[in-house]
Amino acid sequence: MGPGPPDRQPAQISRRYSDFERLHRNLQRQFRGPMAAISFPRKRLRRNFTAETIARRSRAFEQFLSHLQAVPELRHAPDLQDFFVLPELRRAQSLTCTGLYREALALWANAWQLQTQLGTPSGPDRPLLTLAGLAVCHQELEDPGEARACCERALRLLGDKNPHPLLAPFLEAHVRLSWRLGLDKRQSEARLQALQEAGLTPTPPPSLKELLIKEVLD
């Protein structure tokens, strides 16, 4: 759970013991000092699946993650961010590429909520990529209003970052969706035209869907 109204839905992830183990090993290698004081839940060889064992292990992993989040140096570590967000983004991208937009939308939304509620950066372009996924899925599911809102959020994040690879595709999508909804598109249209006249993006620019398919998540 992150900050916000008490009725806000929590973001959810599912990870195996081996995922936690890999995270612990990677962080130990990079941050020997801070990690020395953080204990890792042991794996029992017997009775691994009793309710008592699962509940105890769950509490131990909650404590483990809380300790990691309490140390700024660890909280901002790329490996910890990848642990929370990267598997969701990869699954969402794969479902989007195969046209399963409703299933993908749930994963993109969960990934966005994870990034928002963690309150720490998960890579410079991942929030933008997540918004691109949300915009594409909303558009394919005939919800242009939500798709446009995602584009506007992305454009606020981008600010004056010229030329960012996602800027022109978000502007193009915003113009097209605004026209469809009968809303003002002049500012985005002028900005996109300026990019094209400066030779900073092709005419027409690549679509959000095209960039989403080509993006390599690592």
Q: Are residues 99 and 177 in the same domain?
A: yes
Domain assignment of residue 180, given as a range? 81-214
- Structure pTM? 0.87
In the chain, pLDDT over 70 holds for what percent of residues? Answer: 90
Rounded distance between C-alpha atoms, residue 143 and residue 137, angstroms: 9
- For CA atoms 158, 159, 164, 170, give the dihedral sign: positive
Determine the angle formed by the axes of helices 126-140 and 144-158, rounding to 10 degrees. Answer: 160
Q: Does residue 3 belong to any structural domain of this protein?
A: no
Q: Are residues 87 and 170 in the same domain?
A: yes
- The neighbour count for residue 173, using CB atoms within 10 Å, is 26
Per-residue pLDDT of 205-217, as tens digits, reads 999 999 998 888 8
Per-residue pLDDT of 138-170, as tens digits, reads 999 999 999 999 999 999 999 876 678 999 999
Q: Are residues 37 and 142 in the same domain?
A: no
pLDDT category of residue 46 using cuts at 50, 70 and 90: low
Q: Are residues 48 and 86 in the same domain?
A: no
The one-character DSSP state at 120 is S
